[in-house]
Amino acid sequence: MMKDAVQTKPATAEADHLTDETLVERALARDPEAFRIIMTRHNQRLFRIARAVVRNDSIAEDVVQEAYLRAFEHLETFRGDASLATWLHRVVLNEALGRLRRSATRREVPLPTDNAGAEIVPFPNAANADDPERSLAQRQILRLVEEAADALPEAFRLVFTARVIEAMSVEETAALLSINPKTVRSRLYRARQLVRQQIDRQVGPVLLNAFPFAGRRCARLTEAVMHRLGLSG
């Protein structure tokens, strides 16, 4: 019996170091693990790029799925002139823009979603289950940024998502959107101004509840003081 052309399940540590070329080669040989690694590496970025265009979590997820199918179907066209990430970004962007054009002529009905993993910006020092008030405040801030980004005109929104949310370089963003680096800088400058204005208009009401001190945290402090006073039950 002939040995398989590729190893079907590379070890996790080994998989972390696989190059684009190796992954594409293995995927072309129908190695399931190669497809999993490609998607695991790029899912979050591709989702965010799609969402920057369609501004809906469930539709963005569907866009990414369709884009993966399209990309994997034509994987042999990947020549390595750009990174696999850039190549996939372009496929997703084209799929998202196409979806947007189609939805202009017919109403797109979002699929049900639990919004798992859908936040645009990862918030530092994420709260744990023992701190629900802080978690709520962080979700409010995330939603505020999300709404401000969604309100941007499309040209600015794409640049803002690529540069600020995904931390892509000016050159990567220019290549992704097929625009001049100078245009990337000018659009990013304007996008930041618009986001700042949007947040300024809403931050007052949000800040009223941004640092709540209720529920479990309040009870814990109260009981600690009562204990030190010798008044705990």
């109260």: which residue's tokens? 222
d(CA 1, CA 184): 55
Taking only the tens place, the pLDDT of each residue in 20-73 is 999 999 999 998 888 989 998 888 888 888 888 888 888 888 889 989 998 998
Interatomic CA distance for residues 37 and 54, integer angstroms: 26
Count how many residues are written for the chain.
233
Residue 187 pLDDT more than 50? yes
DSSP conformation class of 199: H
The full set of domains in the chain, from first to last, is 12-103 (1.10.1740.10), 132-228 (1.10.10.10)
Say which residue, 76 or 233, is predicted with more confidence.
76
pLDDT at 220: 66
Residue with tokens 């402090």: 221
Q: For 88-140, what is each residue's pLDDT tens digit?
A: 998 999 898 888 777 765 554 444 344 443 333 343 444 444 555 556 656 76
The pLDDT value given to residue 5? 39
pLDDT at 183: 95
Q: Which of 60, 124, 140 is nearest to 96 (CA)?
A: 60
Q: Pick the more confident residue, 90 or 145.
A: 90
User: Nearest-CA neighbor of 159 among 120, 151, 168?
Assistant: 168
**Type of residue found at 21:** E
- Catalogue the E-assigned strands of the chain: none
In this model, does residue 231 exceed pLDDT 70? Answer: no
State how far the Cα of 180 lies from the Cα of 163, in Å rounded to an integer. 14
pLDDT digits (tens, 9 = 90+) for 153-174: 989 999 998 888 888 889 988 9
Q: Are 6 and 34 in contact (CB under 8 A)?
A: yes
Q: What's the whole-number average pLDDT of the chain? A: 75
